[in-house]
Structure 1
Amino acid sequence: MASPFAAQLDTNYCPEDDEVLQIKSILVEPMLRLRRLDDEIAELQRAIDKLAEERDGLETFVAAHKALISPVRRVPFDILQEIFIACIPTHRNCVMSASEPPILLGRICSSWRAIALSTPHLWARLHIVEPPRGGHASFNAVVDEKVAQRLEIAKMWLGRSGQCPLSISFQSGPDEHNPFPTSPSHSLCGQFLQALIPFAPRWQHIRFAIPLSAFEAMIHLTQTDVPMLETVAFHPQSHFFHESMKWKELPILGSSRISGFSITADCFVFEKSLLRWHQLTDLAIEGPVWRSGLSIDMILHTLASCPELRSCKLAVSGIISEIQHSLVELQFLHTLELEFGNVALTATQLLDRLSLPGLLNFTLNGNRLPNGTPDAQLSLASFLTLCTQLESLKIDSNTFSKSSLLDSLRSLPSTLRRLTVHDNTHGLSKVISCLDDDVLAVLTLGCPSLETLTINFCGRISDVALLRFITARMTGESGTTLKHVKMQVNRQMTLDILPSLKPFIESGLDVAIDYFGPLPTDFSPWKGLPDVPYPWSLNANQ
C-alpha cells in the first residue's frame, strides 16, 4: 500500500502538526478494512473451533475402539511375563522406586499390575538402602518413619518372590555423628538384617555393606541355612576391622555352592576364612589402596588356592618385599583387574609370577613413583607378550613413564580389540603427562585388531594427530578398521576434525570427542554475588 510517508517509516522521524492530520486521514480507510478482516477471521475461527470439537470427539471414539484391538492386549499372559522379566536390570538389583521395574510395571494398568504381582521372578532381586541418621531429633523422627516403611516394603517385596532364588544387596554405614560400634544406627541395620534372615534359605547372591558389629546378626546361620548361596560380598563399614572381625563365626562362608566372594582388603584374613577357595570362580578383594591393600605374598598365596578363577579384582599394597613364592598358573582366568598404591616394582613382582594363558581382559590402575627413582620405569612389555589372547586393556597413563608407556603399547598383542587409557595427571601443574601424539603414532602402526579406543582427560594429544590416526586406521592400512573412538580432551579445540571424518562416520564409525578447556581466571565481574554464572561459578567457592 503506497504512502507519501514511505521514506519516513521505521525511522525516528517526528512529523509536523499538519503531517499528523494527513497521517490520520490516510489511516481511516485501512483501519476500517482491518476491522472488517478481524470480524471475518473471528467468524472463520468459530467455524474452525466447531469442526475441531467434532474432530476431537471422533478421535476419542476411534482411539477408544482401537485400544480394544491393540496387539498388546492379545499378547498371552506367559509372553507378557517374559517381557516384564526382560525389563529387570541385570547388572544390579532392583531399587525401591516407582521410576523403574518392577514397581513401574504395576502402575500402567490393573491387568499389568496383576501380572507383575503374580510373577515371582520380578521380585527376586532387591537393593535396600538404610536411611542415614543425622544429629537432630526432628530429622531422626523422619528417618524412623522411613525405616519402618522400607522394612515393610522389603518384607512385602521378597514375599512376592515365591520360591525363587534371591539376589539381595544392602547398603548401610556408620553414622556420621556416632561412627563407633555402639552407634544406634547399628540397631536399625540389625532390624533390616532380621527382616532378611527368614529368607536365608533362598539367598543366592548377597552383598552387605553394613557396620562391622551388625554381622553378629548372622552368626547363628549355618551352611544348611543357606543351601542356595553362590556369591557373597561383605564390605564392613568401619575402620576397625582386624581386631573384631570374627570370620570363623560366620559359618555360611563354608557353604558348598559359594563360587564368588568379594570383600575389602582391610578385613581380608586368608587363614581365618571358612571359604572353599578351590571352587571360587570370581574373587574381588577391593581397596581403597590408600588405606589398605594386600601384600604380593598374600596375593600369590591366595591365588594359588583358587585354581578355578575366571575373574579377579585385587587391591595391592605398595610395599616391596622379597618374594619366594613360585609361579602361579590360572588357566581359566579371563578377567583381571589390579589396583596399586605405588606401582613400579610391586606390579612387576606380581605379574612376573603369574601365568594367565586365557586372559582376555586386563585392567591396571595406580601411580608410579616420582621420576628419577629406580622404580619409575614400569613396563608391561614382557607381561603383554605372554597374553596371546588379550582383547581388552585398561590402564592409567600416569602408571608409566613416557618410554615405558610406549614400550608397553608396542608390545600389545595382535588380538587386542579395546584399549582404554586414563590420564590422572590433569589438574596437576607439576606433573607432565606422557599421553601425547607419540602414543597415537605407536597405535597407528601396531595393534591391527583395534576396534575401540577410549582416552580420558588427555591434554597433550593434538587434533591433527588424532585426525591422522583415525584416517590411517580407517583406510585399512593398519588392519581392522576402527568402530568407536571416544576422547575426553582437557583443552580447547584447535581444529574441528569432524568434517574430515564425515565419510568414516557415515560408513559406521562412532566418534565422540568432548573438549574441557581450562577454568577461567578469577577476574570475574560477578565475584561476591550469589548468582555467579557458569563457568566462573566453578571457582566461586575457591
Structure 2
Amino acid sequence: MESRFSRRLSTNYIPSDEEIDFIRIELVSHIQELARIDERIRELSAQRDRIQAYIDSHKALISHPRRLPVDILREIFIACLPANRNAVMSAREAPLLLGRICSAWRTIALSTPRLWASLHAPLDYILEKESRKLAVIEWLQRSGAAPMSLSVCFERGSRSLSSLSAWSEGLSLFKSLAAESATRWCHLDLIDFLNGQDQLAEISTPALESLEFSGRVSSLRNFNVAKVPSLRAITLHSNDWYEHIDEFILEMPLGWSRLTHFTLVCYRHGHHSGISLRNVIVLLGRCPQLISFQVSLSEANIETPPQLSDLILLPYLQTFIMTKSSLGAQSLGYLIDHVSMPQLRQFSVEKLTGPTSLSVIALGTGSPLLQELEDLNWQIYDSLERILRSFPPLTRLVVSGGYESDPHLTKFLHLLTPEENLEAVLCPALQKLVITHCSGLESSTLDAFIQGRIRLAQGFCRLEIQNSSVPDLISGAVIQFYRSQGVDVSFSYDGHGLVLSPWMGLSDDAIELQ
C-alpha cells in the first residue's frame, strides 16, 4: 500500500503540523476498512467453528473407539492399571480416571470387576474423611468375586493415626476390609505394621499366594495369614530397632516346604540386624521348592553352621542374595559345599572377605547356568582367570576395584577384553559390567575393553563405574560415540553424581505434573 510518507516511515522524521493533519485524514478510511475486515473475520471464524463442530460430532459417531467391542475395551482398561503396584484412590489414574471420560466408559469401568481387583489403602488418608471409608467399601464391592491384590499402609506418623483411638479406628477399618474381601486376597502387603496383632490374628485368607510385610516381623507369629497352605511367596521388611529376628525366625508358622520365594530385609545396622549363617542353612533345608532367596545376614555369623549329613538340594533356586554383613571364606565354602543349586542364575553375597577364590570356582562348577555374579572383590584376583572361566554364561558382573590404585582391576579388564581370537574370550555372553570404587584405571584400558566387546558383537550394552576417584576418565564425546555403537557408559564420582535434575527429591507424582 503506497503512501506519500513511505520514505519517512521507520525513521526519526518529525512531520509538520500540516502533514499531521493530512495523516489523520488519510487514516480515517483505512481504520474503517480495517474494522470491516475484522468484523468479517469474526463472522467467518464463527462460521468455521460451526462447521468444525458439525464435522467433529459426526466423526465421533464413526470413530474406531466407539465401535470397539466391550470385551476389547475392558482389556484396554485393565492394561491401563499400574504395572508395579496396586491402584490408588486417585482420579488422576486408572481405574477412577476411566470413569471420567464419558458415560459409556464409566458404565463399562464400573461393571468390570478386574479393574477394581487391586487397591492401595493408606489408612491415615482414608480415615481423614468419612466419604473415603465408604468409597473403599464400594471399591471392594465393585471387584465382585475377582481375586484381590491389597496393600495397606498402617502408620506413617501422621496426625490421623497418632492417637490410640485413631489407631484402633484404623484396625477396625482393616477388619472391615477383611470382612468384605479377605477370602479373595491373593496378594497382601502390610506396610508399617507395629501393633494390633491380637485383633487381626483371626483374619482368614484361604486364597493368599504372596505376603509382603514391613514393620515388627515378630507380629506374624500370631497371624493366620502366614499359615495359609496356598502361600508361596513371602517378603519381610524389619524396621523395628529392638527386634532380634534370629531368635524367632525358625518359629514362624510358615509352610516352609511350599515356599518358592523368601525375602528377609533389615533396614538397620548392628550386631542383630539379620539372621545367622546357621539359620540360613536351616531355612534352605526347609525350603526345597525355592526359586529365589534373599536375606540380611547378621554380623553374628561366625558360629559353626549345623552339621549336615546330607547335601541340601535346591533344584529350582535361581536367585541367591545375602546382604548387610561380611561372609568369610570358610563360611562361603561351607555354604557352597553343602547346598546344591544347579539352576542358579543370580548370586550375590555382600562383602566377601578372605581368600574365597576356590569357593567361587566351586560355585561355577556346581551352578553352570549362573548369569549374574555380584560383589567380587580384590581378594579373589589371584585366581581371576580361573574364576571367570568357571562362568561362561555370565551376562552381568559386579566387581569392587578398591579405593587405592589397584593393578588387579586393570588385569581384570585385560582378561575380559577380546583379542584377535574372539572365540577364546572369557565370559563371551557378558552384557553388563559394574565396577565400584574405581581408581587407578587408564582410559586406554577402558577403551580397549569397550571396543573389544563391541567387536565381539555378543550384546554387551552397559558399563557402569560407581564412586570413581578419577573425573573425566572418559570424555563426553567418547561416551556419546560408545552409545551410538549400542554401549551405554555411566560414571558416578566420590562426593557427587553425574545425573542431576531440577526435580531431584520430588515424588513421582510431583514429577508427573511438570
**Same topology, TM > 0.5:** yes
Is the 8 Å Cα contact of residues 278 and 305 (structure 1) preserved in structure 2?
yes
CA pair 342-46 structure 1, distance change in 2 beyond 3 A: farther
Is the 8 Å Cα contact of residues 296 and 316 (structure 1) preserved in structure 2?
yes
User: Which one of 72, 87, 95 corresponds to residue 80 of structure 2?
Assistant: 87
* Partner of residue 357, structure 1: 342
Determine helix, strand or coil for the equivalent of 2:275. coil
Indicate the larger mover: 32-41 or 350-359.
Answer: 32-41
Is the 8 Å Cα contact of residues 379 and 408 (structure 1) preserved in structure 2?
no
User: Which one of 445, 466, 471 corresponds to residue 451 of structure 2?
Assistant: 471
Alignment of 1:257-406 (within 5 A): 257-264=230-237, 266-267=244-245, 269-288=248-267, 290-291=269-270, 292-318=273-299, 319-326=301-308, 327-345=311-329, 346-364=331-349, 366-367=350-351, 380-393=360-373, 395-396=374-375, 401=379, 403=381
* Partner of residue 7, structure 2: none
Is 1:145 aligned to 2:143, yes or no?
no
CA pair 511-288 structure 1, distance change in 2 beyond 3 A: same
CA pair 485-250 structure 1, distance change in 2 beyond 3 A: same
Q: Give, in angstroms, the shift of residue 41 of structure 1.
A: 7.9
Q: How many percent of aligned residue pairs carry the same amino acid?
A: 27
Is the 8 Å Cα contact of residues 170 and 208 (structure 1) preserved in structure 2?
yes
* Partner of residue 107, structure 1: 100
The 1-side partners of 2:269 and 2:435 are apart by: 25
Deviations 1:406-462 (A, max 9, x none): 569735622122345689x8xxxxx44869655543432421012344567857666
The 2-side partners of 1:405 and 1:154 are apart by: 60
Letter matched to residue 469 of structure 1: F
Is the 8 Å Cα contact of residues 203 and 228 (structure 1) preserved in structure 2?
yes
CA pair 274-379 structure 1, distance change in 2 beyond 3 A: closer
The 2-side partners of 1:111 and 1:303 are apart by: 53
The 1-side partners of 2:320 and 2:432 are apart by: 19
Determine helix, strand or coil for the equivalent of 2:394. coil
Indicate the larger mover: 458-467 or 290-299.
Answer: 458-467
CA pair 400-214 structure 1, distance change in 2 beyond 3 A: farther
Alignment of 1:370-519 (within 5 A): 380-393=360-373, 395-396=374-375, 401=379, 403=381, 410-411=388-389, 413-419=391-397, 431-432=403-404, 438-445=411-418, 446-453=426-433, 464-476=444-456, 480-485=458-463, 491-492=471-472, 494-495=474-475, 496-501=477-482, 504=485, 509=486, 511=488, 513=490
Letter matched to residue 226 of structure 1: T
The 2-side partners of 1:49 and 1:409 are apart by: 80
Q: Give, in angstroms, the shift of residue 94 of structure 1.
A: 1.6
* Partner of residue 155, structure 1: 137
Aligned residues: 464
Deviations 1:130-170 (A, max 9, x none): 328xxxxxxxxxx8524x45433322211111011111111
The 1-side partners of 2:59 and 2:437 are apart by: 53
CA pair 487-325 structure 1, distance change in 2 beyond 3 A: same
Deviations 1:254-285 (A, max 9, x none): 32212122224644624423322111111112
* Partner of residue 117, structure 2: 124
The 2-side partners of 1:264 and 1:82 are apart by: 34
Deviations 1:450-509 (A, max 9, x none): 234456785766655443322211112xx61324455667534652214533652xxxx2
Determine helix, strand or coil for the equivalent of 1:235. strand
The 2-side partners of 1:441 and 1:49 are apart by: 75
User: Which one of 223, 229, 239 corresponds to residue 256 of structure 1?
Assistant: 229
TM-score, with length taken from structure 2: 0.75
Deviations 1:322-345 (A, max 9, x none): 224334221111122221322334
CA pair 463-195 structure 1, distance change in 2 beyond 3 A: farther
Indicate the larger mover: 493-502 or 483-492.
Answer: 483-492
CA pair 470-42 structure 1, distance change in 2 beyond 3 A: farther
CA pair 43-459 structure 1, distance change in 2 beyond 3 A: farther
Determine helix, strand or coil for the equivalent of 1:127. strand
The 1-side partners of 2:153 and 2:363 are apart by: 38
Is 1:218 aligned to 2:200, yes or no?
yes
Letter matched to residue 260 of structure 1: A
Is 1:233 aligned to 2:233, yes or no?
no
Deviations 1:15-46 (A, max 9, x none): xxxxx9xx5479x89x9699799968887676
Unaligned runs of 5+ in 2: 1-9, 239-243, 419-425, 503-514
Indicate the larger mover: 160-169 or 50-59.
Answer: 50-59
CA pair 162-149 structure 1, distance change in 2 beyond 3 A: same
